[in-house]
């Protein structure tokens, strides 16, 4: 049992050093049914894995007052789609989501712009409609994320802000 620093020790006893245990356990192996052997699986409808992804929901709640939507749009749909994009960006870097991940997605889709281009509003209305109900719209949500260009995911927030609104098509990978 440890003694406090002020407790006097016997000057005769020497300090103990580290001693290895008599038995060294075997190495760990992934032998349970749910254990992954190798890398994370990749394929359709599997998404993009990353640490602490639930934190993106807290970030989305903080940015909710800043989101500007048009008629017949739903802020929940906008946040659901852009949060999924933010999670993909965070997983590209192998980390938890941060505010710039979500800001990049919302900026590229024009959700911070009080007067976005009409063509962009129509595009996002068609793509984002109902995706907040992921249980019924998971395929549509995945299509939004999978359609977001990798080049835009790797840009900084300042680069995306500089490119929007003049180059919103290239930010979203939409042909002219």
CA distance 22 to 112: 63
In this structure, of 5-14, 24-33, 69-78, 125-134, the range with the lowest mean pLDDT score is 5-14
pTM of the model: 0.77
Q: Which of 56, 164, 63 has its CA nearest to residue 110?
A: 164
pLDDT for res 122: 96
Q: State phi, psi for 4 to the nearest 5 degrees.
A: -65, 160
pLDDT for res 24: 85
pLDDT for res 170: 96
pLDDT bucket at 98, cuts 50 / 70 / 90: very high
CA distance 164 to 170: 9
Arithmetic mean of pLDDT over the chain: 89
Neighbours of 173 (CB within 10 A): 13
pLDDT for res 109: 98
pLDDT for res 32: 82
Task: Give the start-to-end residue ranges of the domains of the chain.
Answer: 55-172
Q: State phi, psi for 169 to the nearest 5 degrees.
A: -65, -45
Q: What number of residues does the chain have?
A: 176
For residue 108, pLDDT over 90 is answered with yes
pLDDT tens, 5-58?
666 667 677 666 778 888 888 888 878 887 777 777 777 777 778 889 999 999
């Amino acid at each position: 049992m440890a003694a406090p620093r002020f407790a006097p020790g016997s000057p005769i006893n020497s300090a103990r050093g580290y001693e290895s245990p008599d038995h060294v356990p075997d190495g760990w192996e992934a032998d349970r049914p749910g254990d992954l052997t190798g890398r994370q699986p990749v394929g359709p409808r599997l998404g993009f894995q990353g640490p602490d992804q639930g934190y993106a929901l807290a970030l989305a709640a903080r940015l909710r007052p800043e989101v500007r939507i048009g008629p017949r749009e739903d802020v929940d749909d906008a946040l659901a789609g852009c949060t999924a994009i933010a999670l993909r960006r965070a997983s590209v870097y192998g980390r938890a989501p941060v505010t710039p991940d979500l800001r990049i997605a919302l900026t590229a889709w024009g959700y911070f712009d009080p007067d976005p281009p009409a063509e962009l509003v129509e595009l996002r209305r068609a793509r984002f409609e109902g995706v907040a109900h992921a249980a019924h719209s998971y395929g549509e949500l995945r299509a939004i994320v999978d359609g977001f260009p990798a080049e835009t995911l790797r840009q900084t927030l300042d680069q995306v802000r500089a490119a929007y609104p003049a180059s919103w098509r290239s930010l979203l990978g939409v042909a002219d």
